[in-house]
Amino acid sequence: MEFQYVSDTKWDETHVSTIHIDEICTNLVRLGHRVTLYIPSTSKAIGEKEYAIVYVPASQFITSLIFQARLLFRLLADVRKNTGGVLYVRSSSLLLHGHF
């Protein structure tokens, strides 16, 4: 199964939420799933991971709002390429009601 994991969290290897996201994505891959993590481009570049990472363009100012708008277009493009799968959203503010 394919998972698209969406988080507007700024990536920081020492932050609890980042560690949690990484563990979920890694474990899903180890269970045989394909995982793509979508995070704001304001995050630090992440080293090699077992899952794909998509940096969605976002500025430091109003990061969440800009991230959500650009994320919608990126997800729509990616979903058109692949059918099925699971959209996993870390924050309820990122739910794209009525779009999926």
Query: Does residue 12 or residue 43 have the better pLDDT?
Result: 12
Instruction: Count H helices and E strands in the chain, helices first.
Output: 2, 4
Give kind and range of the element (H or E) at residue 72. helix 63-81
Q: Which CATH superfamily is domain 2-94 in?
A: Glycogen Phosphorylase B; (3.40.50.2000)
How far apart (Å, rounded) are the C-alpha atoms in residues 17 and 19? Answer: 5
pLDDT at 71: 75
How far apart (Å, rounded) are the C-alpha atoms in residues 78 and 74? Answer: 6
How far apart (Å, rounded) are the C-alpha atoms in residues 40 and 54? Answer: 8
Query: Is residue 92 very low, low, confident or very high in pLDDT (cuts 50, 70, 90)?
Result: low
Domain boundaries, given as residue ranges, for the chain: 2-94
Between the two ends of the chain, the Cα-to-Cα distance in Å is 17
pLDDT tens string 37-86: 988 886 667 788 999 998 887 766 555 666 777 777 777 777 777 756 77
